[in-house]
Copies of this chain bind each other. A is one copy, B any other.
């Protein structure tokens, strides 16, 4: 039997429901939808990194990365990144932030595929991202 392991980085709050921030089973790693919450502080409600798309996107990407790494993976293992924005007008800025971020990550393999759609999110949140990775 292949075990399914929950991935819970030290920076993360307890999930608000019975789900895992990420799970790994065999060579597949699934990251749950992440938002731009700052590292958890005990006794405090989750707080977004800031009101801007830039702040929230960079924190969200850091949160996804923490889960990938908790499972022994890196951005190079990601095959799909799903980006949920709340406003079509944010697309160009998202792409700028996204490109600059991944330039800095020093990918050695093809970047992941991506789907970007525009949905509703809880008040104050501008972006949510999840990811699927296949480990080597």
* Interface residue tally for chain A (C-beta within 8 Å): 58
Work out how many copies of this chain go into the complex: 3
Q: Is the pair A88, B18 in contact by a Cβ cutoff of 8 Å?
A: no
Bound complex: CA A5 to CA B4 (Å): 24
Q: What residues on B are CB-neighbors of A17 within 8 Å?
A: 94-95, 98-99, 114
Q: Is the pair B95, A134 in contact by a Cβ cutoff of 8 Å?
A: no
Contact A32-B88, Cβ < 8 Å, known A1-B136, A120-B118: no
- Residues of A14-51 contacting chain B, CB below 8 A: 15-23, 25-28, 30-33
- Chain A residues engaging chain B, CB cutoff 8 angstroms: 1-6, 15-23, 25-28, 30-33, 76-77, 79-82, 84, 88, 91, 94-95, 98-99, 102-103, 109-123, 128, 130, 132, 134, 136
